[in-house]
Amino acid sequence: MLELQNISFSRDNKKILNNINLHIDSNKFIAITGPNGSGKSTLAKIVMGIYSPDSGKIIFNGKDITSLPIAERAKLGIGFAFQQPVTFKGLTVKDLISISAGENIKTCTACSYLSDVGLCAKEYINREINSKLSGGELKRIEIAMLEAKKSKLTLFDEPEAGIDLWSFNNLIHVFEKMHKEINGTIIVISHQEKILNISDEIIYLNNGEIKDIGSKDDILPQLLCQTKNCKFLNDESN
């Protein structure tokens, strides 16, 4: 469904992505992990069209979308959940979920999306998406928006950051529901073992390059092993 061919991207004379080649199939749950600054978010933004690669091609469902603007890609079935959700003055939760769904949705439909992310629809549906909402609330609304969008390919940039444990469990449930209902592919950028654990495939990125791709059984033990190098953790376990 998604193919990245020789994608490279630099900013301020720094190579952020270096010759990325990747093939992702339909109906998969993929996790992208790697240290901070490894290029994970940049890669997701390149797929969405927020950044343009310096070189390389992006093929989505057989179509070259490298030069397509963001909105066109969204219409073709790509969705993106921001790591730091954007706030607005005046636009409400219902407005954004409606835009996302591509129609003026009924309150009861919005209610089911909001319930999935652990928010009471009655309390939130007419709230402005502004800075008066907490980071966790914004994050959950962002996820509800993507659930409403029903994209064939949805990218989540660190969706678990800033939300509590209770909603984290809900989050996993939302991913599973989306995966089942839409039969699409979900790509999650994450550091969380719990998310990596439910993935069909894990992509490990470091220094702008794909260092490893494989099933969780292949990749996860290696990733967890890396923590053994941490003196602090080793001391703690002894």
Residues near another protein, by CB under 8 A: 48, 50, 69-71, 74-75, 79-80, 82, 85-86, 88-92, 95-96, 99-100, 102, 128, 145, 149
- In the complex, minimum distance from the CB of residue 99 to another protein, in angstroms, rounded to a whole number: 5
Q: Least CB distance from residue 64 to another protein, whole Å? A: 20
Q: Find the shortest distance in angstroms from Cβ 184 to another protein.
A: 16
> Between residues 99 and 161, which has the closer beta carbon with respect to another protein?
99
Nearer Cβ to another protein (105/196): 105
Nearer to another protein, 50 or 172 (CB): 50
Q: Which is nearer to another protein, 174 or 196 (CB)?
A: 174
Name the phi and psi angles at 59, rounded to 5. -115, 125
The answer to whether 200 and 30 are in contact (CB under 8 A) is yes
Between residues 63 and 211, which has the closer beta carbon with respect to another protein?
A: 63
Report, in Å, the least distance between residue 77 CB and another protein: 10
Q: CA 144 to CA 135: how far, in whole Å?
A: 14
CA–CA distance, 147 with 182 (Å, rounded to integer): 9
The minimum distance between CB 89 and another protein, in angstroms, equals: 5
**103 versus 123: smaller Cβ distance to another protein:** 103
The smaller minimum CB distance to another protein, of residues 2 and 220, is found at: 2
Residues 6+ positions from 149 with CB-CB distance below 8 Å: 74, 79, 100, 101, 102
As measured in angstroms, the least distance from the Cβ of 26 to another protein is 21
Q: How far is the CB of 71 from another protein (least distance, A)?
A: 5
What is the token pair recorded at 213? 């791709």
